[in-house]
Structure 1
C-alpha cells in the first residue's frame, strides 16, 4: 500500500513541558492541525515582560502498516508567527533525548578551552556580579562580551560573560619568610559579569609566580557553534526568474531574549608597544648547581634568557615546568617546593619551600630567548562581494611579524572570530594558516565566510619594519678566518706556504700553483698578482704563536687595455709581455647597473608619482687558473700569445616600478599602489680593463712574512645582512659555550652566581665574534645554539583597529595620538555618521562592527603621501561607548544565555542547507458550484489547499487539485466540511503555493543568499518566504544487526551490535521468514529475545525492559501501546531447533520517525497578536 498524504503526521513526544524531562520518546498521538495550544502553551504576561523560550519535541512520522520508505524526508516552517516579538526555530534531536539534553546542545555555543590569561584574586563569593582577578602586565586584557568558565575542582563550575573591564597596575609585596620580601607589579582586573555567581569560587593570593593554591581555575572558551537551526524569513527584495541570489530580511532568528546596556571604553590602546621574549634557538640542556639564598629560598641561573613555556627543570628528584607566565608548575617526582618563579629575561630561577632551601645539582632543558620590544603593525583586507572567500594571503614583507604576535580578526555572520599565531608559524583558532616569518607571507584559511562590507583585520608586533629571524644550526661555513695582505705582490704560483704550530706540532698550508691553498692546517685561496691570502684554519694555532708566510716574489706591471664587448658580454684582447706566467694574470674592470627608486611621498605638478633612475658601479676581478681559463668567469687565455677572451658583462635583475590606482584605504579614497616587476637586463661595460701579469721569464726572490696571531674572528652569519639582536647569541666552538651579554662574550658561566669569564666581543652589525682567549687546536666549525637577527626604525601614518565589542554608540569614539615631528597631542571625535574630519586625524568608524580606519594626514585627498603626518603607534588611544547585550535570568527565560551569542541571535541559514523558496497566492471563490472549475493564474504548484474565512481546511474529497495545470475542480455533490466534519463557511479561498528547492551556497550577514539552481519564476518581496529545511534523509522502519548469543547475562546485558562470547548453533531462518515490521508500529530500539526454556522466551528492549513473552510455536507480535500495532512480528515458521534456556537473539529496529525540536522565543514587549500560529510542513516523497 502506497504512502498517502494523510499518513504523514507530526506526533507528540511523551511530555510537552519545559521541565528537564520534557520531550522523550514518540507517542502515537498526532498533533491536530490548527488546534489552539496543540504544542505550546499560551504566552503569559510575565513572559511578555521579561521574555521566555519554550522547547517542544515532536516526531515526523509515517503511519502505515507497511515498511515503505518515505524518501528525502525533511521539515520546514512554512509560516512564521505574525507577532514580531515571537520567533520559532527548528533543530534536530534524537529518538529519546529530553529537554535537558536539548538545552545542553543549545547552550554549547561555547565550550571550555585553555587557561585564561588571568587568575582569581582572593575568594569570589556567591551572589557577586563582579570578580577580582590578577594577571601579568604583558598579557592580553579580556574583552567585553567574552565568556570564561570558573572551575572549582570537580565540585562546581560556572560560565560568566564579561560586561565591563577595569584594569590597573598595582604593586604587590610577597614575603619569602625570615624577613625576606619582594615587590612585583601585576595588573589587577575588576570584571563585571552578566549574572551573579551561583557559588563561591576560591581564589589565591598574589605571588611572583602567580597566585597561591588552593584556587579555582579560570578557563577561556572557544566557539563550538555545533547546533544548527532552521527557520524562515521573507524576501527583502523581489527576485527575477533565473536569479542565483536573493536577499532575505535577516539570516538570524532570536533564540534567547536579551536587553542592552552601555559600557564605556577608556584609554584603550589602538597601536601599542608589546614586550616579549622570543625563542632564539632550539632546546638546549644544561647542568646546573643550585645555591641557597636565604631561609627557604634557593636560586639557580640558566645563563641566558628563556622562552616562556619551554623550561623543564629537574631538581632534587622532582621535575618542574614553567607555566608561560613566570611561574613553575609541578610535573612529576617528589614535589618539594611551595612556589617557583623564573625571570625569562635573565634566566634566574627562584625556588621556595617552607622547610628550608636546597643546594645541589640540577639540570634544565629550555629554549634560549631574548627580550624585544616592538610596535604593533595593523592593516585590513576590505571584504567585498568580488573577493569574499575562505582563503586569503597577507604580504607583510615590509614589516614581517614576530613569532607569536600575529592576530587576525574577521566578522562572520556578525560575530568576530580570531586566528592567532602561537609562535610556531601555524595559525590556529577560528581557522588555520601558516606564516613565513622570514618573508612575511601569510596564508589564511577561515572557518567561515567573512561578511561582505566588513574587513579582515590583522595586527602584529614587528621590531620596527623588519623581521626578527632565528639563525641556528651546526657547521656554519667560513668560521675561523685569518686574512693577510702580504707586503709584496706578484707571487710565484706554487711558491707560497704558511706554517704554524698546534700543540707543538707544525701545521702547513701550501698553494697548488692555481690559487688554491690546502694542507694540514686548513685551506683557502691566494691571489698571486695582488699578494692577498685568505685562510680558513682547520685548527687554531697555539696561543702566542705566529703564522709564517713564505713565498717567492717578482716584479709585476699593471697595463690598461681598451676592449669592446658583444651582445652577450664577451670581449677579446691581447695582454702585452707574452709569453705569460700561468697563474700570474689578474684582470679588473667595472660595469654599470641601472636601478630605480620610487618617489614615495613626493608629487609633481600633475599629481603623478615619478620613479627616479640611477646607475651604480659594480667592480669585478678575474684570475687565471694556470690552465688557460678564468676562475669563476667565462673565457680563455693563451699564455704563449697573451690573447684572451673574457665575459665582462652579464644579466642582472632589474626592478621596475609602476603605479596602479585602487581603493585601499577603506573609506572611499583612491590610492596609488606600487607595483614591482622584475626583469633581466644586461650590464653596461665601460670598455677598460686593468691587467696585472708577469712574463714567463720573470725572476723571483724568496720572501717571508711573520704574522703575530691576533684574536680569531668567527664569521657567524656569512651571507646574512641583518644585525644580531643583542642578548640572543649562544654558540659553541672548540668545546666551549659562549654567551653574549651586552656585546661581551662569556664562557664558563657559573649557574650558582651567573658570573663568567669574559673572552671576547660581538660585532652585532658585522655578525662576527672576536675571541682573544681560545683553545689551541680548536676545530673551525661553529654551532649556533641561539641567535636572532633584526633591523629597526618606523612610525605610522595609517592605522586600522577594531574595538573590543560592538556596536558602538554613534558619535562616541574619540581618538588621541602623538605626532612624531612635534610631539603634539592631537584628539579627534567621530561624528554621528562615524567620520573623523580632524586637521590631523581623518577616517571612519563602522559603528556596527567597531572597525576604525584612520589616516594621519593634513590632506585626505592627497594620494601621494606627501601630506602624511607620522604618529607614534604605541601612543594612539581611544575612548568610546559600546552597546552590549544583557542576557536575562536563566531560571526565568528557560535557558542559560551566557554560553549563547551575546545578542541571543543564531543564524538559521548555513552554507549547504536545503532551502525552500515559496510563495502562496490567494484566489477568492464566493460561491463554489458543485462540479465547477476554478482556473488559477499560474501552474506547476507544489500545493493547493482550500480554506474558509476561519482557516478551516476543506477536506480533500471535496475538490480535485490539478497542480500541473493550476486548476481546482469541485466535487459533485460538494460537501463543505473539513476532515473532522466541521462545516465551512463561504467565501472560500484557494491557496496555491509554488516553491523552489535548492542548496544554499553562500550566506552573508546582509541577508544575501546564493543558491545552486536558478529560480523558475519572478517572486515578490515580503510575501515570498525562504525556509531552511531540517533533513532526516530516507525514513523507513527496518530491522538490522541480527545475531545470536549462547549466553545472555541479564546483569550485564549486551546491547552492542556484535555478540559477546559464543553464538548458538540454533538459528532463525531470516531468508524465508523475515520478521515483519511496519512504519506504524516500529520504534528505534535494541531488542533481545531471551530464552527461558527451549521454546519460551522473553521480549526485552534496552530502555523499555521486558515488554512481552513469546514462543517458537507461535508468531510473536508484541504490541506498541502508543499505536496499537506490533513493534514487529517474529514468525513461528522461522524458528529452527536446538534452542536452550539462556540463549538470546539480538537485533535492532529503526522507526519511520524523524525527531525535531521546536523553540518558541518570546521577546520582552507588548504582544500584537492574540491568537498567533506558525505552520510546519513535513515533506518527502513516496510512490
Structure 2
C-alpha cells in the first residue's frame, strides 16, 4: 500500500506502455534498491486518488548539472527499468528544482500488507485432535512493528547459497490420473526438478509457477510435488524428472569489486567443475545484498525468474547483473563440485539416469522351510509397463531371466529392472530327511535308492568319488536326468599314483 512520499521527484513525461521511469533526487539521498516497489500517485479528472505501481528491475543513475536564475546546481538523475509497463501517460516536472516542489504526480513508497513473506505465532483457539484437518486461531494477522521483531541465533546452518537439485530418476509420469478438477490440489508421487514439469497447455517457468496462454497461473511446490489451487481444469498425465534438493556448498570464491572493474558483466572460471544447479551468486548493490540462483539447465536466475547468467559445460560462469554492484564489495560465488553427486552410471548429476539391469539373489524365509516347490514361483513388477516372469524346470522365463535352486529356497533373477519386486511361491512344509545310502556304480552310471517317494525339487545328493586320473583323463559323470552337479578338488595325495578325490554336491532342478 502507498505510504509517504519518497525522496524522488518524477522527471519528464512517462509514456504509456513504457517500462522506464525517470526521477531525480538530492545527491545525499539514498538510492532506491532493485526489487523495491513504488507507487505513482495522482488525482484523476473525477478528483479521485489513483495509483500506478511499479517494481524496480534495473536502475542506472548519474549526477547532472542544471541551471536556474540562482546559478547552477547538481542533482542525481535516476532511470529505473520496471517489471511491468505503465498503463497511462504520467507527467512529471519539466526540469529539476533546487527547492522542494509539489508535482502533480508523486513518487510514493509502499509497504507490504498481509504478505506470505511475514510469519507470526498465534495461540490455537480450539483443541487439536488427532486426524484434524483444520486449525482455529484467534487471528491470521500479526503486528508489523519493531516490538514484534524476534532475533534468533541459527546453528549448523549454511552461510549462503541455495539448495542443489539432484535428479533421482529418468523423466517419467509423476501423475497418471485424468480428471476434471473443480477446486483442489494435484499431488505427484515424488518431488520434481524445476523446469521439468510437462502438463499439456502449461509451461513450467522454473520459479514455482505453471502458466498458460490465457494468463492463468498455478503455483507448484517442487520439493513436495504438489500443484496448488487448481480450479475448473482438466488434468491429464503429467511428466517430470524426479528430484530432491540438497544443500552442500563446499567451494566458494570472491571477486572484489573495484572502481577499475565495476561492471554488470562478469566471467569467471570455476574449478573444480560445478554440479548442475549448484551455483549460487551473491552481490551487493545500493547497500543491499541480492542472490542469483542456479537452475538445473545451467542458467542463473534472479528472484523474479529473469535469466541473469549461465554456466558452460567447461565450467565458465557468465553473469549479467541488473545493476552495478557496490565498489568495495565482492561478487561471491558458491558451488558444489560435480564429483559429489553421480548417477548409477557414474555420470554427472543432472544427466539422464538410465535404469541399470541388476542381478540379485532372493532367499525364502526360513519358516516354514526354505524349499521351493517347482513351477510355483511367480514374479511381477512395474517399470512403466506391467511385467511378469515365472519358473520352469529350474529356469526363470518371461520378462527377465535367471535360475532357481529349489532345495536351497533361492532364486537368482537377471536383467531385472525393478525398484519393487512382488513374488509368490509355494514351499514344502514337511521336514526333510537326511540319510546315508549305498551307491552302486556301473561304468559311468551310479544308482541309489532313497527308500521312499521323493518330492519333486527337494532332492540333494552329496558323495565323494575317488578316480585314477591316468585311467580317466577327463571326468564326465552322468547323473540321472533332472540333477545338476558341481565339482571341487578336496585333496591330493602325492604318494598315490596321480589319485585325486572329488566331492560332488547335486540338487534337482
> With CA pairs under 8 Å and 6+ residues apart, which has the higher RCO, 1 or 2?
1
- Both proteins in one fold, TM over 0.5: no
Higher alpha-carbon Rg: 1
TM-score, length of structure 1 as denominator length: 0.20
